[in-house]
Amino acid sequence: MAESDVNPIDGVAVEINGVEVIAHKGELLIDAAERTGTYIPRFCYHERMKPVGMCRMCLVEVDTGRGPALQPSCMLECTPGMKADTESAVTKKAQDGILEFLLANHPLDCPVCDKGGECPLQDQTMAYGPGESRFVEEKRHKEKPIPISDLVLLDRERCILCDRCTRFAKDVAGDPLIHFIHRGNNTEVNTFPDEPFASYFSGNTVQICPVGALTASTYRFKARPWDLETTESTCQTCSVGCRISIDSSRDQVQRFAGVDIDPVNWGWLCDKGRFSSQAVTSDARLSEPLVRDGSGLVPAKWSDALNRFAKALDNASSAQSIGVIGGSRLTNEDAYAWSKLFKGVLATDNVDAQLGDGLPAHAVLGLPGATIDEVCAPGGTVLLLGPDVKEELPVLFLRLRHAAVEDRVTLVEVSPRSSGLTSLTKASVHPRPGETADVVAALMGTAAIDREIAGVAAAELEAARTALAAASGPITVVLGRASIAESANVTVAAASAILAARPDTTFLSALRRSNVRGALDMGLAPGLLPGRVTLEDGAEWYSEVWPAMPSAIGLDTEGILRAAADGRIDVLVLLGADPLADFPDADLAERGLTGARTVLSVDTALNASSKRADVVLAAAGFAEKAGTTTNIEGRVSTLSQRVTPPGTARADWMLAAELSNRLGTDLGFESFGDVLAEISAVAPAYLALDQAIAEGSTDGVLLPLDVVVIIDEEDDDIVIVDETVVVSEDGAEVDVTADVVVEESEVAEDADEPIELIADDSDVAGAMPPFVQFAPIDSIAAPPVDSYGFRLVASRKLYDQGTLVQSAPALAPLAPGSIVSLNPWEFDRLGVAAGGRALVRTAKASVNVTVQSDAGVPRGVAAMIVNQADGRVSDLVSVDELVAEVRIETAP
């Protein structure tokens, strides 16, 4: 929609206000006019939704050869020779008249309306409307705001019936829970009685409402638009990387709103992202460091807390006795600083940003990547092999939904239970947990499937195989962990099978935590160094800038917790992590935290795990620090500071630098820009990032960039074209300095023109290391089926007991609580009933939860929700097992 260069041959020449402009083929007049600088007022038209011509505000005088007539420009495709006049007397009279009609019943309560000051109706009345009303009759009256959901209120008097919210609910979100009710003068938007607008995307209707009819419960009467200060940033609620604007007033975050960028969120946000603005200002936020004395955690001076923190690290018996968990909630700069501290100064490789609930780093970074746009490209075929994206990555769900509904994208799902996208798939199969890879291998085959595999009937498998085989080009895969009760190896084996059969397949990792991709990219995983290189390959490259280097590949979170439980970890550092809540095996997390001699935490708020720490450093959180973040695609976008952190909380990179100083090494960082500059100069996949950000757009920067590194030697200039291989002009592999000095650059307009990095060769640090490679694994044998038992599927819902949701008062009550969902056909043999209680039992533990009937859960599967208030799933799961087998009994 935003391309500015139009090939005149493909374009349509139209005349707008006497000036000839070239419109795209099929472009609407309202869009063509706006793109070429003529704004036509509108209420109902929204560039991300289909036009309806509801409000008539965009009427303009158009002549298509039969004389000028008023036509709605949002419903009119440009045709050759069309002449539009947006400023004629007739057009102006029409605009004036429409506004007078709209205002006939619209209350003039602007002074107490949240929209006042940023209201399209207000603005356009000022610009195009009548000076005063001729309407003296009584206006329509309705009950002032009625809640249509827990988050959104509706004032029907103010509504101008533009159909934006109802179209959004039906066409974009797929939750048609609000609708026009009644007819004519009585028409109003409303929900069905007792069936609220409980959509994960309801907040978007508030944002697109062109009047103050829909308001958010979190923002009502909190601020006026002219008092707001706004900064653009990137949402950090999940890893999709939606662009948002942060509005603050009096140094308090007031609200978030979606910003439209083409490659990611199209202006939409999920409610968790939007209303997590409340979490920024939560009372639970740490405003000062805490240290443990005899009476528990007490506030301390920064110098004391940092000294104790540093001393604990210094006193560790060896590098191997330090373990670091977490980092997925940080900025790239924070993650790099920690990475440099722990790996490059303290030389431990026991560092893992994921909590055993994601995918191995080699799979995230090493699989051939696909962007969201590539996954959603019209006519494509997508294999969904991961979590329910509606629950974990909601805006990716919107994109996939749009792709399936509007862009003829074929979705094929392989998941342990049905998901929010199941109804839109061409085929959806639900293999027994643990046996997904066998099904995927069969689906990749060329032979027809004539037998049941992993509990899926042959006919269903064949339908899915046929749908995949019908793909006209390479398929894309959305890859993630559908259930934390199932080993990540199952997913890796499935990916391996896909790659073996279709090497041209590309993958989008469906990981959940905000900057998990950036944390992995910055080396916060065992065996990795910043810039998507392995420890083995990159050790020499980093030897000039990092004082030390781990001697061997370290432990992941599971390994760290096991080692801690065995007493082999002296210092366990939690970087915003809560293993007690998030690690799939709560028992191991508990033993690990207990077994670690010292637990140190850096966090924005206390959680179950950091309450057990000896020192807790107060960290600045979202909207309180600048930086960059990397989304699931590997797209880097900027994070901005809008407010000051609570109390004396500081950004993580500062804490890493302070600690390093106390340990006798200067990390060399005095601002986040210093960190970014070092990342951009040394991290292979991030080379030249700072230039690209400085010159790039709000869309962010997709990495790795096409970078040409030029070694500035007198005679022997070296030009490297491929971003992964460094070669000289004569083709020989050469050494490139790690100490790159950027002298000249240009951001490529397209991929053909690489960025030039000019480096000096003062201290050569070996050849640029290659990127991480995916390490395929063979199919794995699932345990035999226990016909009395159930295989556990432990998946996430959007709202849970996580810190973010629970610190936002509007979101906290939305967590559904613990339930076990069973296929209704299982009820008789178990003797349980929907709504009743049942015991879910494994060898380790049993939990007492409410039973829910769910036809989307296959027989033989018990589906539970992770991290809910009562009945923790992680009590049941053991990381030793490939899948969790449970028994279900009636609760006593």
Partner 1 sequence: MARLTNDNVELAREIIGRYPRPKSALIPLLHLAQEQDGHLTDDAMAHIGELVGVSSAEVLGTASFYEMFKMEPVGRYMVNICTNISCQLRGGEELLEHAEKTLGIRPGQTTADGLFTLEDVECIAACTEAPCLQVNYRYEHRISNEGFDQLVNDLRAGRRTDIPSHGVLAEVRQHIPDERRAGVVTPEDKAAPVWIPAAGEGER
Footprint on this chain of partner 1 (rule: CB under 8 A): 170, 175-183, 190-195, 405-408
Please report how close the Cβ of residue 1 comes to partner 1 at its closest, in angstroms.
15
Helices 652-662, 302-315: crossing angle, 10 deg rounding = 60
CA dihedral 484, 485, 488, 492 (to 10 degrees): -110
Instruction: Give the span between the Cα atoms of 720 and 708, in whole angstroms.
Output: 5
- Please report, as a single letter, which amino acid is at residue 738: A
Are 625 and 596 contacting, i.e. CB atoms less than 8 angstroms apart?
Answer: no
Which token pair is 41?
A: 């007022």
C-beta of 66 vs 183, nearer to partner 1 = 183
Instruction: Give the span between the Cα atoms of 148 and 145, in whole angstroms.
Output: 9
C-beta of 96 vs 462, nearer to partner 1 = 462
C-beta of 100 vs 175, nearer to partner 1 = 175
Instruction: Give the span between the Cα atoms of 450 and 753, in whole angstroms.
Output: 51
Instruction: Give the span between the Cα atoms of 77 and 718, in whole angstroms.
Output: 52
Please report how close the Cβ of residue 179 comes to partner 1 at its closest, in angstroms.
3
Please report how close the Cβ of residue 557 comes to partner 1 at its closest, in angstroms.
42
Which token pair is 465?
A: 């195989």
Read out DSSP for 374-420? Answer: HHT-TT-EEEEESS-HHHHSHHHHHHHHHHHHHS--EEEEE-SS--T
C-beta of 37 vs 379, nearer to partner 1 = 379
> Alpha carbon 157 to chain centroid distance?
36
In angstroms, the first-to-last Cα distance of the chain is 61
Please report how close the Cβ of residue 382 comes to partner 1 at its closest, in angstroms.
15
Q: Is the peptide bond before 550 cis (omega within 30 degrees of 0)?
A: no
Please report how close the Cβ of residue 411 comes to partner 1 at its closest, in angstroms.
13
C-beta of 187 vs 551, nearer to partner 1 = 187
Which token pair is 387?
A: 């979590």
- Phi and psi based region of residue 511 (left: phi greater than 0; alpha: psi -120 to 50; beta: remaining): beta
Please report how close the Cβ of residue 468 comes to partner 1 at its closest, in angstroms.
18
C-beta of 135 vs 192, nearer to partner 1 = 192
Please report how close the Cβ of residue 202 comes to partner 1 at its closest, in angstroms.
13
Please report how close the Cβ of residue 463 comes to partner 1 at its closest, in angstroms.
12
Name the β-bridge partners of 382: 411, 476
Please report how close the Cβ of residue 489 comes to partner 1 at its closest, in angstroms.
36
Query: How many C-beta atoms lie closer than 10 Å to residue 754's C-beta?
Result: 19
Q: What sign has the CA pseudo-torsion 635, 641, 642, 645?
A: positive
Read out DSSP for 850-881? Answer: EEEE-TTSPTTEEEEESS-SSS-GGGT--TTS
C-beta of 194 vs 828, nearer to partner 1 = 194
C-beta of 144 vs 408, nearer to partner 1 = 408
The count of residues in the chain is 892
Please report how close the Cβ of residue 850 comes to partner 1 at its closest, in angstroms.
23
C-beta of 189 vs 322, nearer to partner 1 = 189
Q: Rg of the chain over CA atoms, in angstroms?
A: 29
C-beta of 190 vs 320, nearer to partner 1 = 190
Please report how close the Cβ of residue 178 comes to partner 1 at its closest, in angstroms.
6
C-beta of 198 vs 780, nearer to partner 1 = 198
| DSSP code at position 498 | H
Q: Which residues contact 296 (CB under 8 A, 6 or more apart)?
A: none
C-beta of 178 vs 363, nearer to partner 1 = 178
Q: What sign has the CA pseudo-torsion 97, 100, 106, 110?
A: positive
Q: Is 90 helix (H, G, I), strand (E, B) or coil?
A: helix
Please report how close the Cβ of residue 174 comes to partner 1 at its closest, in angstroms.
10
Picking from 269, 145, 282, 150, the residue whose alpha carbon sits closest to that of residue 813 is 150
